Amino acid sequence: MPTQIANQDPKDRLIVALDFPTARQALALVDALGDTCRWFKVGMELYYATGNPFIHELRHRGFNIFLDLKLHDIPNTIAGAVNSATKAGASLLTVHASGGAAMMTAAAEAARTPCSPRLLAVTVLTSMDANELAGVGIAAQPADQVLRLAKLAKASGIDGMVASAEEVAQLRSELGPEALLVIPGIRPAGSATGDQKRIATPKAAIAAGASMLVVGRPITQATNPAAAAQSILDEIAAGVATQPGSEKTRT
């Protein structure tokens, strides 16, 4: 399946998070969503339970995969992990920017092989605020830390960033129109925030410059997941309509 982002097509901007412990539960949601979604995020919980066979199943069904493993290790190990993700068939893969320049450079070099996933650097988790950062010895405000790590990631050859919607406008301004900005912590108006602290509505995040949105519980815990996804697609379309121009990103 092509992995080019069609800038004006909301379905190419929505990634549904399959945050489930089993393949059966995840595939039940995939079936319930029908043709409303083209991208799915597979994170640590599901991947560690199901491995590459589940990725292969989703690819066989024609979907694109965001493998969100937040890799963080020594450079040689990370390079090997990128090679493994390439064999799995992932289109996007995350590494932690806090792993440093050498680690991210090794990942970027490993991702130069054909069919490798595009790499996204996780900056500051959307569950963290200034108090959480201070607790791990980082005195900077989240927005400042996000920008610092994003610039380091870009200089290391990483394709895009994962950050909250609070930082997306600044990242778009600093990193330019080609940067792939994938934004979690998305909550439609009136929905519960859960454990997320830096959030935004789909429309606001897209209007601020997000390339793609990762949405979990507002869809996966909805009574009618397909209707919930369609509502978010409508919000994405409204956000695209407010942008002064469309970014030419690819995945």
Q: Annotated active-site positions, please?
A: 70
Contact residues for 221 (Cβ-Cβ < 8 A; gap 6+) = none
3-state secondary structure the chain: CCCCCCCCCHHHCEEEECCCCCHHHHHHHHHHHCCCCCEEEEEHHHHHHHCHHHHHHHHHCCCEEEEEEEECCCHHHHHHHHHHHHHHCCCEEEEEHHHCHHHHHHHHHHCCCCCCCEEEEECCCCCCCHHHHHHCCCCCCHHHHHHHHHHHHHHCCCCEEECCHHHHHHHHHHHCCCCEEEECCECCCCCCCCCCCCCECHHHHHHHCCCEEEECHHHHCCCCHHHHHHHHHHHHHHHHHHCCCCCCCCC
